[in-house]
Amino acid sequence: MSSDTGPGAYIPRDRGRHPPALAPEYRSSRLRSPRQALLSLPTTLSEETGPVFGHSVLGPRDSDLIHNYAAGDASAIGPRILVHGQVRDQSGRGVPGALVEVWQANAGGRYRHRNEGYLAPLDPNFGGCGRCLTDARGYYRFSSVQPAPYPWPNGPNSWRPAHIHFSLFGPAFAQRLITQMYFEGDPLIWLCPIVNAIPRRDAVEALIARLDMDATIPMDRLAWRFDITLRGRGQTPFENRPEGL
């Protein structure tokens, strides 16, 4: 367990790095943003000491999105990628045993979701979600296919950049984080109202995975490095529906 846990041990977040609840150019935030001032409450013992995840809760293919939904020996369609990085606490130390859950669109930009409105084809061998636990030094890794951009009804010609959603539980609920990872070099990043709701460029850049040729698997898959900070002044920006303190 991280030594950050314990009464009063958490460094306050720098709210200037995170998107506000109300970002007018991100249309749906107008309906769900709070109407009253936010309250700050002290953490409870349960928020500082749980949850705890064991490796036994994960299946053998949970971290392999290329195959974990596929039938038989089939594979998901699309460029194969490896995503890896380190989950860190507020002091920059690796967080062991953190649960990392991911979900994403397929290589055509379509989610496997009953309310999906985009006409791109579904891949019958791609479910679009997976999970893993960080190792003793806080490192995680999973395999997938490169997601594609897709249109969304925010404006007359709005497109989301290619991205992967992340949900993380550190050693305490007070380290809960939901965020998105983007890909280096994608010009749509800087046109996206969700991204532009983040007030600081350095915070946006913390959401952009870097191409990591040293970790690339030759003749197989490109690798992208995405490090995540769960708490503190340098916390990775969360989605604009903040959870926790």
Tokens in use for 105?
């669109």
* Per-position b or e across 134-164, b if 16+ CB within 10 A of its CB: beeebbbebbbbbbbbbebebeeebebbbbb
Among this protein's residues, is 163 annotated catalytic? yes
Residue in 150, 176, 182, 221 annotated catalytic: 150
Burial of 39 (0-12, 13-18, 19+ CB in 10 A): exposed
Among this protein's residues, is 118 annotated catalytic? no
Among this protein's residues, is 165 annotated catalytic? yes
Phi-psi region of 235 (alpha: psi -120 to 50; beta: other; left: phi over 0): beta
Residue in 88, 160, 176, 231 annotated catalytic: 160
What's the full length of the chain, in residues?
A: 245
How many angstroms separate the CA atoms of 222 and 218, rounded?
Answer: 8
Residue in 163, 176, 221, 231 annotated catalytic: 163
Residue in 26, 69, 111, 182 annotated catalytic: 111
DSSP 32-88: HS-SS-----PPPHHHHH-----GGGS-TTTTBTTTTT-STT---SS-EEEEEEEEE
Among this protein's residues, is 160 annotated catalytic? yes
Residue in 88, 165, 176, 231 annotated catalytic: 165
Parallel/antiparallel/unpaired status of strands 208-211 and 150-151: unpaired
- Largest separation between any pair of C-alpha atoms in the chain: 54
Burial of 187 (0-12, 13-18, 19+ CB in 10 A): exposed
How many angstroms separate the CA atoms of 81 and 66, rounded?
Answer: 9
Which amino acids are annotated catalytic?
Answer: 111, 150, 160, 163, 165
